[in-house]
Amino acid sequence: MPGRSLTRIVALGAIAALSLTACANGSDSGTGTTGGDAPTDLVISTDLPLQGASASTSESTNNLIQLYLDQVGGKTGKYNVKLKTYDDSTAAKGAWDDAACAKNATDHVANASEVAVMGTFNSGCAKIEVPTLNRDTTGPLLMVSHANTNPGLTKTWETGEPEKYYPAGKRNYARVVTTDDYQGNAAAAFASADLKVKKCFVLNDNQTYGLGVARAFADAAKKTGIEIVGEQAWDVKQPNYTALFQAVKASGADCVYLGGIYDNNGGQLIKDKAAVLGDNSQVKLLGPDGFTGYNDLLKLPQADGLYLTFAGLTTDQLIAAGGPPAKLIEAYKTKYGAAPTGNYPLYGVAAMQVILAAIAKSDGTRAGVTNAVLSGEGITIPKAESVTGKEIKIDPASGDTTAKDITVELVKGGKETFFKSQSVQ
Amino acid sequence: MATSTAPRTSAPSPSRRSLSHYRWPIGYVVVIVGLFLLYHFILPNLVTQVSGPVTAWLPVATLNECLMWAIMALGLNVVVGYAGLLDLGYVAFWALGGYTAGWLMAAPFNWTWDFHLFGAVAKTYPGTHITFWLVILIAGVLCAILGLIIGAPTLRLRGDYLALVTLGFGEVITQFFRNSNDIAGRNLAGGDGGISIIDPIGTGPFGATGLVPPGLSNGAQDNVYKILVLGLLVGACLFISLRIREGRLGRAWLAIREDELAASMMGVPLVRTKLLAYAVGAFFGGIGGVANAAGITGAVSPSGFDFGKSVLVLLMVVLGGMGNVWGVTVGAFLLAWLNSNGLKQIGVQLDSWFGTTLTATLPRYNYIILGLLLVLMMLYRREGLIPEKRTKALMNTPSRTEMESMGAESLEAAAETAAVEKADAKTDAGIAASAAAVSPVLDESTPKREDRS
């Protein structure tokens, strides 16, 4: 063995040495070509989970953004822009992966022609990437998310948030979706004014998103005079929730709020709710946008009468309203033969619109693009151009969108139907 | 423990011995420093036509990930490869190590005090900030204790049962951290969101000179320096693995792996030896956890510590060659690279050759490819990429019971002749010598020992 392992080491060393000499030879011909005028060819990247459960949504988002860029001729202001896609998931995990996010963040910073990042899909991933982009000495590098709803990224939430994500002391993150707390507030206002419920039982899936909306709903509901008779987590891996809903029944609740996402065994939850507490016309059932966009949910007869809140307008509504979103989706259907998956691809384009507007306003540098969004008066996309069918205005102080309209949907006859528009303070 | 049972007969001359002792460390240092120089000085000065492919196929971040996984694989190698205890919940130690970093070197998540001890961030920064180097040791020790705790009740179990218990343990730890935002009303580890941001790796005196950044965060330049830091940790793990294997403890592990009953008959204390295997393996896992949290991701959350990670580490060990540290390291590099960047890059390459669109889809076949690879390995190279000599020797020896079950004593004799013909005299001597070292009674008949991995 000593002999063999030695040969191996020697071989490795030889390879290393060879590559050293090879590189040493090559280094003479290498010359730096940095400096000079601001480049006119800029790259915008997307950073999405391209594998696992969110893969189809992410793919649609990339395709729709590319389609939009083609439609505007790949130009904004005096700059040509190109799209580069990054994957922040690994197949082994089937979801976003912290190491992949960290690596992408480094790559965004290292890729000199990149001026902004559209993404990420998951708030947890953004929390890893934002500090790295923030430390970029040529920036900070701007990130605009179409789907991060965790409040902590932009406002005071958990201890140390949001300051700990901006070690350089300057903001570089914006988003075009409203945060979980607004959704909770809207649902609470709706429950008290329209559904006139008195006692609510709040459930959560014990994950960041679910806890956030559940907490926001409970806090807001208390303020509107609804009594919170219980707050509990549902165990994602449990085969049934009969016992849980027996406890809800005993508490005398006339409304149940499901803070979480449908993927976390939401189907079983909805079935058992109906089995124990009766259909949704008796004990009202409410959920956040983590339950929207699932065909499996809509097929459940027990889901009939479920109220869902969603930040912004749904794809169906947008098509019905006509204008830029309808045109974009029409073009997408012609090209790919089907509508984009879920409601997030359109918000991806909305985030891209913010980035494009920022680049047009800037001097083409990273710092310039970031400043265009997060200083001065910020970025506003007028209603006539916006792909969300509404004006998009980014607050330059926080990076949050000022549009706080929440749509309340009612699941009826296997469809998410528009119920009312709920604005929040 | 390594020196107490040094070979007693015909030791090679001192100068040759010392040289052979330093062979692998020198080779290893050359490789790591070479890699560092490659990424630090050489690649940035090259035209992109030359440097581009290198950074595309093996970016610095991926290299660091590979090094981190090597620590993990070396740790699991102690438990699975040396002691033969199948552990399917190794991710638990990784998680605890990561969370130790979260507790001791991070921005606040709920603690109200500020504490700095050689931390890599400004003194005004709130939260607990202890230097990376100390946290590594603390995490290692914590994990070793945890290793003893899970090791103790599982000692009477073997094989499948042991695997099940460790599997359960791995799941329990992840669930514990997922629910850690409300343990008896206290927020212990931030729940599902985990803890972010974890401090960069402090460079201490080197940072003070101004040559290196004072804290290695997630930037492109900092990542290059991390090659040295992680390389040092992997080197330490390699060294410990090799030295322990040579010593009484290592040989006792191997004896247990080959035949537990025989080992205990020969006087190997089963309880202590197995517990130590868990503790040492867990120590490495803790180091890997801190290296991952502080060096790779900069954050910890329960979603990062799923069962898939335990399986991945186990695959690294099996694929590389159980028990052989070099094999395991190569296995770790190969699989970590495939998982992180390799498949993606192969997709990119295939796309550019054939105009396909595999970049996004190829990584999805990760498990199929890994599965196929594993099946092929089991069919044609059961002992791993770089097998351990003992395993290989054992596999070449025909199974006695197989022959006996055929009911032919003459066959048995023929088989033994065949085995003798096939066997390598040096190999046999080595195995006999290591057995002799565990039980000195056997030593009389063995003239010479040259068993080194």
Inside any domain, residue B3: no
Q: How far is A263 from chain B (nearest CA, A)?
A: 15
Better pLDDT: A261 or B79 = B79
- Out of B280, B310, B340, a domain closes at B310
Write down the pLDDT at residue A339: 83
Are B148 and B289 within one domain?
yes
Contact A160 B127 (CB under 8 A): yes
> For the domain A180-311+407-423, what is the CATH superfamily, name and number?
Response regulator (3.40.50.2300)
Average pLDDT over residues A160-173: 89
| 8 Å CB contact of A2 and B20 | yes
Tell me: cis bond preceding A140? Omega within 30 of 0 counts.
yes
Are A41-178+320-394 and A180-311+407-423 the same fold in CATH?
yes
* Annotated domain spans of chain A: 41-178+320-394, 180-311+407-423
Q: Do B192 and A26 touch (CB under 8 A)?
A: no
The pLDDT value given to residue B118: 82
Q: What is the mean pLDDT of chain A?
A: 84
pLDDT of A402 over the 90 cut = no
Q: A41-178+320-394 adopts what CATH topology?
A: Rossmann fold (3.40.50)
Residue A13 has pLDDT above 50, yes or no: no
Cβ within 8 Å of residue A356, ≥6 positions away = A44, A72, A76, A81
- Name chain B contacts of A2, Cβ cutoff 8 Å: 20, 23, 450, 452
Q: Give residue B7's pLDDT.
A: 44
Q: In this structure, are B60 and B168 located in the same domain?
A: yes
Residue A26 has pLDDT above 60, yes or no: no
Which secondary-structure segment (H or E) carries A230?
Answer: strand A227-233
Query: What is the Cα gyration radius of chain B?
Result: 24
Q: Looking at the complex, report in whole angstroms how far the Cα of residue A85 sits from the nearest Cα belonging to chain B.
A: 10
Q: Is the dihedral of CA A213, A218, A219, A223 positive or negative?
A: positive
Tell me the chain A residues in contact with residue B34 when contact means C-beta distances shorter than 8 Å: 13, 16-17, 19-20
Catalogue the long-range contacts made by A229-232 (C-beta closer than 8 Å, 24 or more residues apart): A229/A199, A229/A200, A229/A201, A229/A253, A230/A201, A230/A202, A231/A201, A231/A202, A231/A203, A231/A204, A232/A201, A232/A202, A232/A203, A232/A204
Average pLDDT for residues A122-144, to the nearest whole number? Answer: 90
**What was the pLDDT predicted at A286?**
93
Give the number of beta-carbon pairs within 8 Å between A and B: 193
Is there a single domain that holds both residue B270 and residue B404?
no
Whether complex ipTM tops 0.85: no
Half-sphere exposure of A269 (CA within 13 A, CB side): 27
How many CA within 13 A on the CB side of residue B41? Answer: 12
Q: With contact defined as beta carbons under 8 Å apart, do A229 and A256 qualify?
A: no
In a domain, B15, yes or no: no
Confirm if A337 and A167 have CB atoms less than 8 A apart: no
Predicted confidence at residue B110, as pLDDT, reads 66
**What is the phi/psi pair of residue A100, to 5°?**
-65, -40
Distance separating alpha carbons of residues B68 and A103, to the nearest angstrom: 14
Question: Above pLDDT 90, what percent of chain A?
Answer: 35
- Tell me if B22 is assigned to some domain: no
Nearest CA in chain B to A150: B193
Helix (H) or strand (E) holding B102: helix B91-104
Report whether B362 contacts B84 (CB < 8 A).
no
Residue B339 lies in a domain: no
Please check whether residue B27 lies inside any domain of the structure: no
- Domain holding B434, by residue range, is 397-453
**β-strands B201-202, B215-216 pairing:** antiparallel
Q: Is residue B187 domain-shared with residue B302, that is, in the same domain?
A: yes
Nearest to A27 among B42, B107, B220 (CB): B42
Quick: pLDDT tens for A294-325.
Answer: 778 888 888 889 999 887 777 777 778 778 88
Domains of chain B: total = 2
- Contact between chains at A107 and B59 (C-beta distance less than 8 A): yes
Question: B338: which 2 tokens?
Answer: 């495939």
Domain boundary among B293, B310, B327: B310
Q: What is the pLDDT of residue B422?
A: 65
- Strand segments, DSSP code E, in B348-426 are none
pLDDT band at A111 (very low <50, low <70, confident <90, very high): confident
**Which pLDDT tens digit goes with each residue over A328-361?**
988 999 999 888 877 788 899 999 999 999 999 9
Q: What pLDDT score does B16 carry?
A: 55
pLDDT band at A27 (very low <50, low <70, confident <90, very high): very low
The last residue of one of the domains, among B310, B335, B360, is: B310
- Measured CA to CA, the distance from residue B183 to residue B177 in angstroms comes to 10
- Mean pLDDT per segment of 10 residues, for chain B of length 453 residues? 43 56 87 92 82 85 93 95 90 94 84 78 82 94 92 78 88 88 81 86 82 82 91 94 92 91 91 92 95 91 88 91 92 90 85 80 80 86 82 70 56 61 68 64 48 46
How much is the pLDDT for B156?
76
Confidence of residue A12 (pLDDT cuts 50, 70, 90): very low
The model's pLDDT over A196-242, given as tens digits with 9 standing for 90+, comes to 999 999 999 888 788 888 988 999 999 998 999 999 989 888 888 99
Contact (CB<8Å) A124/B194: yes
Instruction: Give the B window 363-402 contacts with A, CB below 8 Å.
Output: 363-367, 386, 389
b/e code A142-161 from CB counts within 10 Å (16+ = b): bbbbbbbbbbbbbeebbbbb
**What are the chain A neighbours of B363 within 8 Å (beta carbons)?**
51, 87, 90-91
